Amino acid sequence: MRNQLATESLFALSQPGRRGAELPEADVPVKPLNELLPAAALATEPTGLPEVTEPDIIRHFVNLSTLNMCVDTHFYPLGSCTMKYNPKRHERLASLPGIVDLHPYQNPSDLQGMLALLYETQEMLAEISGLPAVSLQPAAGAQGEFTALLTAKAYFEDRGEKRTKVLFPNSAHGTNPASAAIAGFDCVQLASSKGGLVDLEDLKANLDDQTAVFMVTNPNTLGLFEKDIKQIANMVHEVGGLVYIDGANMNAILGFTRPGDFGGDMMHYNVHKTFTGPHGAGGPGSGPIAVRDFLADFLPGPVIKRNDNAGENEDQYTLENPPKSIGRVRTFYGNIGIVVRGYCYLRTLGAKGLKAVSENAVLNANYLKAILKDVLPVPNGDLCMHEFVASASKIKSENGITAMDIAKRLLDFGFHAPTVYFPLVVPEAIMVEPTETESKETLDAFAKSIRTILQEDPEFLHLAPHSTEISRPDEVVAARHPILQCCEPQ
């Protein structure tokens, strides 16, 4: 049992005069501040930050942390998010002196170890994607999408073409249309086929000389491999457009097939999904992009180059701006701390290990799907890739149990909820992604819990969860009268 103080806000714990950190006395001659800075620029009152001691703070945040479910404590089958185990060695290695304390404006000659690591990461990402040119700069998958779309735009402009449209299937992640819109494109949403794949007829009907890019996730958000992807790519290429692969689901195909081989011209990676950068309660992610050689000159700078003929006084690794670069998409070089974790993962697994990752991710997903299909049918596909989308619509029509009810009740059984109500093309969608780092025992226990839940009183389920710190927040009130900070503005 936790006493109430544990979850009081920091501001409620504040008492005038308490301190959580002390600073040394100035060791230089001190002058009155208003001699150093104009009086008009100086604050007249201190900030309203709270005053608390270090033990207060530690107890407060440690207590709060225990209110979370996370990969370290729970099975987290959150479809589309790839919540796999986060190796501990990465945290140690990313914190090494000489990695964690490098300033972005140090002299490149002093950074050859770091640049070698990043260069090698670029090379591995190029090989895995089958696309030769890589930029590590994007800070997250969505920024990778945006960056690649600008790269495409610059490419077309360089050719004297002005193309206005970006196409994507209706099962696409919301970031795809959002990225296209902020890159200045018109968005065209396509229907899906009955089987949950890209509808070739609708694609054909919308392809024309205004088509800049077709964005597609493969395997798609239903967990299905777009078997016609090569034909799709050919159709897009025939009208002069480019194919973008949303790499959110790369977990399923590592070493089996490559976006560059099945017709993709550009893609982003989610290092935090595929290569186990931890999700950090919402970030930071990292979204490097890989593109075909004819797009390399347009990538955001700087990228890391290797000079194999470097002389004694020359750097082997240098930072360079591609000649027709779209410019920068963020300050400095990217979310390097996350890239380092991705590098450690790739070096831990090697080619064989990466293939085994996909084998086990796909095995786990299909196994869970198989042992649940009699109670939670999956409308699309016989075999899935690393995730599947079941539908609770039959259960809902029979006894009123919704996808949300199942998700919330699972929390009581010690499992994080699957993704629900996405993708939008499946009614009462329950999207499950077990990932390769779960054991058969865990999957069996999860399936058993779902079966138990489906036998429970629907009224009881509507009120779930019953054992968590809180139960079903009132989101309507939250949106109508937003309370976004715990104290009045000063």
Segment 234-273, which members bind other proteins (CB under 8 A)?
Answer: 253-258, 261-262
Reference 80, options 357, 279, 259; nearest CA is 279
Query: Of the candidates 68, 234, 397, 399, which one interacts with other proteins according to CB under 8 A?
Result: 68
Query: Of the candidates 335, 380, 391, 402, which one interacts with other proteins according to CB under 8 A?
Result: 335
Q: Would you give the end-to-end CA distance of the chain in angstroms? A: 35
Q: Does 230 bind other proteins (CB under 8 A)?
A: yes
Residues of this chain, 108-167, that bind other proteins according to CB under 8 A: 110-114, 116-117, 120, 123-124, 127-128, 130, 139-143, 145-146, 150, 153
Residues of this chain, 10-29, that bind other proteins according to CB under 8 A: 10-11, 14, 18-24, 26-29
State the nearest-atom distance from the C-beta of 349 to other proteins, in Å.
Answer: 6
Contact in structure between 363 and 400 (CB atoms under 8 Å): no
Q: Does 193 bind other proteins (CB under 8 A)?
A: no
Contact in structure between 224 and 197 (CB atoms under 8 Å): yes
Amino acid at 220: N
Q: How far apart are CA 79 and CA 386, in angstroms?
A: 9
Q: How far apart are CA 390 and CA 407, in angstroms?
A: 12
Whichever of 200 and 349 has its CB closer to other proteins, that residue is 349
State the nearest-atom distance from the C-beta of 452 to other proteins, in Å.
Answer: 19
Contact in structure between 218 and 226 (CB atoms under 8 Å): yes
Reference 428, options 469, 465, 399, 459; nearest CA is 399
Q: How many residues bind other proteins (CB under 8 A)?
A: 204
State the nearest-atom distance from the C-beta of 339 to other proteins, in Å.
Answer: 9
Residues of this chain, 349-408, that bind other proteins according to CB under 8 A: 349-357, 359-360, 362-364, 366-367, 369-371, 381, 383, 385, 407-408
Which range binds other proteins by CB under 8 A, 290-298, 303-311, 434-442, 450-458? 434-442
Strands (E), 345-459: 388-391, 419-420, 429-432
432 SS3 class: strand
Q: How far apart are CA 126 and CA 482, in angstroms?
A: 45
Amino acid at 337: G
Which range binds other proteins by CB under 8 A, 85-93, 207-215, 234-242, 307-315? 85-93
Contact in structure between 344 and 360 (CB atoms under 8 Å): no
Which range binds other proteins by CB under 8 A, 99-107, 290-298, 392-400, 450-458? 99-107
Whichever of 356 and 397 has its CB closer to other proteins, that residue is 356
Q: Does 86 bind other proteins (CB under 8 A)?
A: yes
Q: Does 409 bind other proteins (CB under 8 A)?
A: no
Whichever of 355 and 456 has its CB closer to other proteins, that residue is 355
Which range binds other proteins by CB under 8 A, 183-191, 304-312, 393-401, 451-459? 183-191
421: left (phi over 0), alpha (psi -120 to 50) or beta: left
Whichever of 183 and 376 has its CB closer to other proteins, that residue is 183
Which range binds other proteins by CB under 8 A, 7-15, 238-246, 394-402, 452-460? 7-15
β-bridge partners, 192: 198
State the nearest-atom distance from the C-beta of 320 to other proteins, in Å.
Answer: 14
Token output for 367: 């196994």
Whichever of 183 and 429 has its CB closer to other proteins, that residue is 183
Reduce the secondary structure of 322-371 to three states and give it as a string: CCCCCCCCCCCCCCHHHHHHHHHHHHHHHHHHHHHHHHHHHHHHHHHHHH
